[in-house]
Amino acid sequence: MLFAVVALSLVAFARAGETSLALGSPTYVAQGVFPTEAFASYYNVPTLTDEQPQPVITNVLTGKVFAAGLTDPKNIPVNDTSDPRTYPPALLSTDAAGPLVQNAFNQIVNIANLNNSGWGNNCSRCLAGLEVAKAVALVTPESIPTLAVNLCNYFKFSTTCQNTYGPLALGQVLAQVLAAADVAGYDGQNICNNFVSGFCPLPPPSPLNMTGYFAKPKPANAVAPPPSGQRARVLHISDFHLDARYATFAEANCTSSLCCRANNPNSHSLNQVLLPAPRYGWFTCDTPYDLALAALQAIPAVTGTEGSGFDFTIFTGDLVSHDPENELSQTYVEYTETVLYDLYKKYLGSGPIYAAIGNHDSYNQAEDAPALLGTQLGQANLSTQFSWNYDTLSTLWENNDWISSDVAAMAKAHYGAYSVARPDGLRIITINTDLWYKANYFNYINMTKSDPSGMLRFVADELQEAEDAGERAWIIGHVLSGWDGSNPLNNPTNLFYQIVDRYAPHVIAGIFFGHTHEDQFQIFYANNATNISAASAGAVAWIAPSITPLTNLNSGFRMYEIDAVTFDILDAHTWYTNISATASLDNQTAHGPKFVYEYSTRQAYGKSISWPASAPLNATWWHKVTEEFEQNPALIQQFTTYQGKTSVLSPNCTSAACVAAKICYMRSGSGPIGKTCTQGFGSVQ
């Protein structure tokens, strides 16, 4: 047994130690016929050019085959009633509570109308309304969806009230959060800032007392190890967003929500499709199977890893498509997780894949509950309501031999996140960033605390173990911690920033995110960025381009050349396919989309910086690159082109305001720091 383990690691690391890495062919043209060997069997004929393949997939946990109807593009299931709904304990049945709920509705409407009498401001009225709703949630939680939908309709808050807040959508989540949150205080102020049209000003971050937080002080001589001269290859893919319900030739110019769906027309042209969805994807749509397999076949070819594979791969989350809430279900999420992880296994070679959960890889979308919720509300299963997902993901990862059973057990118990100490000296720490994502309603419980879930304590403890063991670490998550600060919550990312400062640069060799679908980066500095300079830059987070073209982007992926001993990044190579060219590929089988090399990060930037060829693209280098951007704003336009993977639809960034804002985002590693930048230039979509 011992012998077998040793032999395996020799094989696994035989390629680490190369001193220069050759890439594959500069371009790859996918075959025009769907590679039918991708799956064992199909519900339809997979090689048709006017519909997408429909593979037959089996659920790893139940052993049951997913029904054809789950992904039938012509008849998309809505209003899933089979998933369990989780409510806090009730004091009154919904029937008995009818008058009380009607009363609450009237009270909230009256409170809102007090505006006309001059009573209070928007914030105080919003908080008062939440208090009435909380009373309902504590007495009759299952009435909350009805109350929410009625208020939503009354205030014209949305055009899809029932489908978004009803009992088969987010209603159950609202009930739990109202029951548990301090709605009159900090939690309520944040809810009324983020979800109710800015009715309250955003409260400032909580004071952070770091005294005693870390087990040991930062070592005096905390520097990164010197380059080894040996290289390894790491693939970074993100935001795949497979759309198994993509309908080729359906409306790609739909009026709202996810296009290329048979049930989502252009409201101005109900009887005629204005822009038929191309077989290989479109800017307004998620990834169809035909594009998915073209990309997965392109990866080994262009990266030069055919036959050998990568040393390892990181996937920074989001497998599932951007469906409206009432078209999603646990089963649909499980289906997509199963399909894509199996395809990764099949096409990306033998190296392990380390994956972080994305906000779309959950149901309800973006939701994940803190472990203490069940204790707080007196019903244990409120703490385990997402375990079905952590079980599915960790089982898939373990079955694919990417993580051991011990690590899988850790992921099941830690929100789908885990840590792996690789035998080569790299510790991979994944995090479930739903726990700092502003769209996760559960984060609005106990918001004054910076780490109510305990996730960041876990990260700090793992980094301490890495420091003690002389290892280096990579942190892998989905929702980025900073940039313009519009996605992450302030308190958790403020704490994360301090943790990064403590363990950079000697332990942390890289941080990796996705979520925005765009090619970006963010730098972390010492002392909470109070003195931004090359000398204070400690870590950098790489945000990978997405496979999905949604929205207005090309489809792309990246490979890092890393130092095989220090795990610092030496170069990043990015490829993409031009989505504006997909329409010409319809109705033929001669060839599919062409993937092309976009750029080498090392060659694109830093020409004016004196930097030895052996030195890594670390935070010091990236800070100097931002100084180069200040000197030469034309380079920001180059950055902006790459940000959207060279999409023909990306806007430029030529104004002084845009240039300054982007440099500010690049230097922002937390929500509070990002929010100090001028807003409005973060995205190219």
Ligand X SMILES: *[C@@H]1O[C@H](CO)[C@@H](O)[C@H](O)[C@H]1NC(C)=O
Q: Which residues contact ligand X (rule: CB under 6 A)?
A: 50, 78-79, 84, 86, 115-116, 122, 162, 166, 180, 197, 205, 208-209, 211-212, 224, 249, 253, 255, 266, 268, 274-276, 370, 372-373, 375-376, 379, 381, 445-446, 452, 494, 498, 505, 528, 531, 533, 535, 537-538, 586-587, 615-616, 618-620, 651-652, 654, 672-673, 676
Instruction: Tell the smallest beta-carbon distance from residue 399 to ligand X (Å).
Output: 26
Question: If DSSP codes are grouped into helix, strand and coil, which group holds residue 510?
Answer: strand
CA angle 580, 584, 589 (to 5 degrees): 130
Among 597, 608, 673, 616, which Cα is nearest to 635's?
608
What are the beta bridge partners of residue 522? Answer: 541
DSSP annotation of 153 reads: H
- Pick between residue 1 and residue 656 the one whose CB is nearest to ligand X: 656
- Pick between residue 69 and residue 651 the one whose CB is nearest to ligand X: 651
Instruction: Tell the smallest beta-carbon distance from residue 375 to ligand X (Å).
Output: 5
- Pick between residue 137 and residue 302 the one whose CB is nearest to ligand X: 137
Is 239 marked within a binding site? yes
Q: How many residues does the chain have?
A: 685
Q: What is the 3-state secondary structure (H, E, C) of 503-514?
A: HCCCCEEEEEEE
Instruction: Tell the smallest beta-carbon distance from residue 43 to ligand X (Å).
Output: 21
Alpha-helical (H) ranges within 261-399 are: 289-303, 330-347, 373-377, 387-399
- Pick between residue 546 and residue 641 the one whose CB is nearest to ligand X: 641
Answer for the pair 545, 574: CB distance below 8 angstroms, yes or no.
Answer: yes
Amino acid at 246: Y
Tracing tokens 């991708």 back to the chain, one arrives at 38
- Pick between residue 166 and residue 351 the one whose CB is nearest to ligand X: 166
Is 478 marked within a binding site? yes
Instruction: Tell the smallest beta-carbon distance from residue 661 to ligand X (Å).
Output: 14
DSSP annotation of 483 reads: T
- Pick between residue 57 and residue 459 the one whose CB is nearest to ligand X: 459
CA angle 120, 123, 127 (to 5 degrees): 95
Instruction: Tell the smallest beta-carbon distance from residue 236 to ligand X (Å).
Output: 20
Tokens of 201: 């000003």
Is 414 marked within a binding site? no
Distance CA(342)–CA(37), nearest Å, equals: 13
DSSP annotation of 148 reads: H
CB 464: neighbour CB atoms within 10 A?
Answer: 17
Q: How does 541-580 read in b/e, with b if 16+ C-beta sit within 10 Å?
A: bbbbbbbbbbbbbbbbbbbbbbbbbbbbbbbbbbbbbbbe
Helix (H), strand (E) at residue 192: helix 186-194
Is 517 marked within a binding site? yes
Contacts of 225 (CB under 8 A, 6+ apart): 472, 506, 565, 566
Instruction: Tell the smallest beta-carbon distance from residue 11 to ligand X (Å).
Output: 31
Looking only at Cα atoms, what is the longest distance across the chain? 81
- Pick between residue 70 and residue 242 the one whose CB is nearest to ligand X: 70
Instruction: Tell the smallest beta-carbon distance from residue 673 to ligand X (Å).
Output: 5
Instruction: Tell the smallest beta-carbon distance from residue 546 to ligand X (Å).
Output: 23
Tokens of 480: 């980025």
Is 241 marked within a binding site? yes
- Pick between residue 177 and residue 348 the one whose CB is nearest to ligand X: 177
Binding-site annotation: residue ranges: 239, 241, 318, 359, 478, 515, 517
Binding-site annotation: residue ranges for Zn(2+): 239, 241, 318, 359, 478, 515, 517
